[in-house]
């Protein structure tokens, strides 16, 4: 099986999880309780040994294959879309590595439930939010940009008069809108939410 095929298959697995993960975060606009209730329902499907092993394996494959593909294609990238695919892919590889290490580190060493409070502790605490807000925002937008570029390259059909390149731009626009909605749910709307003491460990 070629590196590209492995990268594609692992990417699809990760995309499914990210889609569910983002949907859960979007649910935060309805309230903290609602967000956590939705998270507990979704965890039945993705927080079990089989799903976690599949996800971790996919991320490891994605990182290794992604680095190789970046090195082999960086000189070939001529168009803006090619460069966007490489740059967003590289950022996502770094983000996935850091995010995975942070989540499992919090669970294994600090015995924290990586729930709503784990996510909002950093983006609602100054000066940590100076790092975490752009860190998460760029990750979400990079994900949609990466998907959009691949869509533009692989899609061969015009939908309701909208060409693949225009479809890709719509995907990017949706990504930007979702990013703003996410931060509305995780910051402004819940500015008055009290973050439990265990989640303040890194802000002391």
On whether the pTM is more than 0.75, the answer is yes
In this prediction, residue 173 carries a pLDDT of: 97
Give the Cβ contact number of residue 204 at 10 Å: 6
Q: Is residue 203 part of a domain?
A: no
Q: Is the pLDDT confidence value at 91 over 60?
A: yes
pLDDT at 55: 93
Q: Do the domain assignments include residue 200?
A: no
How many domains are contained in the chain? 1
Would you state the pLDDT for residue 80? 87
Task: State the sign of the Cα–Cα–Cα–Cα dihedral 161, 166, 172, 177.
Answer: negative
Cα atoms in the Cβ-side hemisphere of radius 13 Å centred on 86: 16
Domain assignment present for 20: yes
- Alpha-carbon distance of 40 to 93, in angstroms, equals 27
Mean pLDDT of the residues in the chain: 89
DSSP 159: B
When pLDDT is cut at 50, 70 and 90, the band that residue 71 belongs to is very high
Q: Is the residue at 126 inside a domain?
A: yes
For residue 202, is it within any domain? no
Neighbours of 152 (CB within 10 A): 20
**What is the reported pLDDT for 201?**
72
**In the predicted structure, residue 204 carries a pLDDT above the cut 60:** no
In this structure, is residue 97 part of a structural domain?
A: yes
Answer yes or no: is pLDDT of 2 > 80. Answer: yes
pLDDT at 188 over 80: no
Tell me which residue range forms the domain holding 8.
Answer: 3-195
Residue 41 in any domain: the answer is yes
In a domain, 165, yes or no: yes
**Sign of the CA dihedral running 184, 186, 189, 191:** negative
């Amino acid at each position: 099986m070629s590196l590209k095929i492995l990268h594609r298959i692992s990417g699809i697995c990760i995309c499914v999880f990210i889609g569910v993960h983002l949907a859960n975060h979007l649910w935060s606009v309805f309230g903290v309780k609602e967000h956590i209730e939705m998270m507990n329902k979704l965890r039945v499907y993705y927080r079990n040994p089989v799903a976690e092993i599949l996800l971790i394996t996919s991320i490891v494959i994605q990182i290794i294959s992604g680095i190789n593909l970046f090195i082999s294609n960086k000189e070939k990238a001529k168009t803006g879309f090619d460069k966007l695919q490489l740059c967003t892919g590289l950022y996502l590889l770094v983000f996935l590595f850091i995010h995975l290490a942070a989540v499992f580190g919090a669970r294994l060493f600090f015995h924290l439930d990586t729930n709503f409070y784990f996510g909002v502790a950093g983006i609602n605490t100054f000066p940590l939010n100076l790092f975490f807000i752009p860190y998460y925002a760029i990750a979400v937008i990079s994900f949609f940009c990466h998907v959009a570029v691949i869509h533009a390259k692989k899609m061969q059909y015009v939908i309701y008069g909208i060409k693949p390149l225009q479809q890709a731009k719509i995907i990017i626009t949706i990504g930007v809108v979702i990013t703003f909605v996410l931060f509305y749910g995780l910051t402004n709307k819940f500015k008055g939410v009290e973050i439990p003491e265990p989640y303040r460990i890194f802000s002391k």
